[in-house]
Amino acid sequence: MLEASGLMVFYENMLALNNVAVKCDDHQIVGVFGANSAGKSTLMYTLSGIMEDIRKKEAMAGGERITIMGEIRFMGKSIMGLKPSLRAKQGIVLCPERRRIFSESNVLENLRIGGYLATTSQARKTMEYVFQIFPALLKLKKRTGGFLSGGEQQMLAIGRALMAQPKLLLLDEPLLGLSPLMQAILIRGTKVIRDERNISIIVTEQYARPVLPIVDYAFILENGAAVMEGTRGDLLSNPDIRSAYFGV
């Protein structure tokens, strides 16, 4: 499905991604775990193409010089250099960190905006599906985004990403700051989306423990480098990884 190799991202002289290779196969949930500043968001921006936009904007404004190198292949074709909107059309959809929903718009409006790439009938069916996996949103249809709780906003952010008809969903720290109960609802929803919609998922988190049960394969990022990868069992059998990312 997606294979990235040799990814390097510099913010001026600061190396944020150092020769990173990640892979997500069809029907997989892949975890990317790393501490604050490890490079998780930079990786998600690079895969979704948003990094390319940020680079161009900075260059036009005469600001920070950003360099992006490496190769990303999606469904057999190189997508390196492709704009984020074209990657989204091909099925790579990012649900960004800090759940950037439209806070002035209500739940329905947020979902409709997310469905701009979908046909009317796809949008209608997907919206029904979003309410089926996250029934809490149904009662909040008319609620303004900014007045939702953090967990509700995250459900909406995932729902909005689903409206764009992803084949590969990129979830950047979806559990950040949420209660264990809300985390469990979102993790269950994530697994259901993969199982029922056959959407592959790459999910980043600082702590691996809550998401590990649904992850097929994972990468550990440290200071911009992928220092380890493996199955759930591989990670759990490494004592350093266990204490740093699982708290056990």
Q: In angstroms, give the least distance from the CB of 9 to ligand ATP.
A: 8
> Could you tell me if 110 and 156 are in contact, meaning their C-beta atoms sit under 8 angstroms apart?
yes
Task: Quote the crossing angle between the two packed helices 150-163 and 107-114, to the nearest 10°.
Answer: 30
**The binder of ligand ATP chosen from 3, 8, 10, 11 (CB under 6 A):** 11
Q: In angstroms, give the least distance from the CB of 58 to ligand ATP.
A: 8
Please choose, out of 39-47, 123-131, 137-145, 185-193, the segment that lies near ligand ATP by the rule CB under 6 A: 39-47
**The binder of ligand ATP chosen from 1, 16, 47, 241 (CB under 6 A):** 16
> Could you tell me if 45 and 87 are in contact, meaning their C-beta atoms sit under 8 angstroms apart?
no
39 part of the interface to ligand ATP, by CB under 6 A = yes
34 part of the interface to ligand ATP, by CB under 6 A = yes
Q: What Rg do the C-alpha atoms of the chain give, in angstroms?
A: 18
Q: In angstroms, give the least distance from the CB of 192 to ligand ATP.
A: 26
Name beta bridge partners: 217. 30
> Could you tell me if 226 and 220 are in contact, meaning their C-beta atoms sit under 8 angstroms apart?
yes
Closest among 83, 148, 135 to 109, alpha carbons compared: 148
Spatial neighbors of 213 by CB under 8 A, at least 6 apart, are: 187, 232
Q: In angstroms, give the least distance from the CB of 66 to ligand ATP.
A: 7
Q: What residues from 50 to 109 belong to the interface with ligand ATP (CB under 6 A)?
A: 64, 97
41 part of the interface to ligand ATP, by CB under 6 A = yes
- Provide the 3-class DSSP secondary structure of residue 10: strand
- By CB under 6 A, name the binding residues for ligand ATP: 11, 14, 16, 34, 36-42, 64, 97, 206
